Amino acid sequence: GWGVVLEVFLVLYGFLGLATICDDYLVLSLEVLCVRWRIREDIAGATFMAFGSAAPEIVVNAVTTLKGQSGTGVGAIIGSGWIAFLLIPGFCALSTEGPLEIKRRPMLRDMLFYTLALGLLSWAFYDGKIEAVEAVILVATYFCYLIVVIVAPIIRRKWRERQGEIVADAKSFVELVEEEKSFLEIMDVKDSDTLQLFVSEVLEESANGDTCCGRVQWFGEILAAPLSYLFMATCPPCKRGSPYECLYPITFIMSFGWVAAFSFIVSTVVERWAALSGLNSGFFGLFLISVGAEIPDTIQSVTVAKRGYGSMAVANSIGSQIINICLGLGVPWAMHNAFGQPVQIADHESLQVAVWFQLGVVLFSFSIFLGAALVLRLKKAILRRRKGYALVFAYFLVLVVYASVTFGQGDASS
């Protein structure tokens, strides 16, 4: 009785701790790192910013891999993909009055690379174990993606200049931070000149509790108060321009340690539930850990979408899934193989089914987002409310069908 209540509380509070430490400390330390090392804004966005966004899923998989339960981490990352491709864009479309406009080129690029990463993942654990070469290929795929992110804008810029177009000079990451712009603005600064006004309006509305997201934020701050005091006592506030800015390495190390601690707590409880229920751990990763890890991204994306910035809201959620698979799975598996032992995926058959479901999700999302835009040669993809309803319905349909298939396989085997 009370033991179950305590376990549920630990899981929920663990998710809250992960969201708080990542948003308030880990990302800030990475921002200062990028400024002090003078890292270009496109590289920073595709590496450190993506890592900060995907940290919960990455660390959960690393912890479960070390504990010999890698299926939980794989399930969490595939489940995050379901949410990123269906639920978050659907909520974004439903939270706005008019249609959202989404840039075609970045979304097409991210969808193609994600499909490639998903196919490699399916190939890697097809036999139930991950060899060193398979893990290295996943990591190498991410670096190929990084090269495309960096080089493609340069090539496009040169082409436009040769066509005689006037191309404005893009500001560097350091210049943008020195202007006191936030990470959110920096990563999408080319989309609009009114982002500063947008951010200030969102913060003002959230502070006054005039929006649904503001009320959620207010309630979350009350629950997170004990965690906030704990983090303040252990992680130096290294915000840009603060007296403790130089302590950003300590903030990064301590915040990453807290992420590992909360991930260990959540994964331990989930594995216990899996053992008691007789279900595989990958199932709980798909249905539970992925939801908890994606709640902060969902709230952030909906808040951004309500201001009309569809590309920023949707592209961030989809793009972060590439680093989830390639680094979130590839790096822990490569490290495990470095000690001479391949990674065993006990639930690989059911997870293989989940991968095929996710491939279907990607194709469905591609048709929703880019189908009409590519056929009609529109400059931007249009996401309307009816498409939002279709995406949300598709997410719950995928959950129900996959659960039915999983339980059906379990009954057949027994």
| pLDDT above 90 as % of the chain | 14
Would you state the pLDDT for residue 186?
41
Would you state the pLDDT for residue 279?
75
Residue 62 — pLDDT band, cuts 50, 70, 90?
A: confident
Mean pLDDT of 118-135: 90
Residue 223 — pLDDT band, cuts 50, 70, 90?
A: confident
Written in H, E and C, the secondary structure of 261-311 is HHHHHHHHHHHHHHHHHCCCHHHHHHHHHHHHHHHHHHHHHHHHHCCCCHH
Mean pLDDT of 308-333: 79
Mean pLDDT of 292-301: 74
Would you state the pLDDT for residue 212?
56
Would you state the pLDDT for residue 1?
66
Would you state the pLDDT for residue 214?
59
Asked which of 48-62, 229-243, 272-286, 328-342 is least confident by mean pLDDT, the reply is 48-62
**Whether residue 114 has pLDDT greater than 50:** yes
Q: What is the pTM of this model?
A: 0.78
Would you state the pLDDT for residue 166?
62
Write out pLDDT tens, residues 353-390.
889 999 999 999 988 888 877 777 777 888 888 898 99
User: CA–CA separation, 322 vs 337, rounded Å?
Assistant: 22
Would you state the pLDDT for residue 169?
54
**Whether residue 173 has pLDDT greater than 60:** no
Would you state the pLDDT for residue 392?
92
Residue 234 — pLDDT band, cuts 50, 70, 90?
A: very high
Residue 316 — pLDDT band, cuts 50, 70, 90?
A: low
Give the chain's mean pLDDT. Answer: 78
Asked which of 229-233, 235-239, 410-414 is least confident by mean pLDDT, the reply is 410-414
Higher pLDDT, 45 or 197: 45
Would you state the pLDDT for residue 364?
93
Would you state the pLDDT for residue 187?
43
Higher pLDDT, 306 or 138: 138
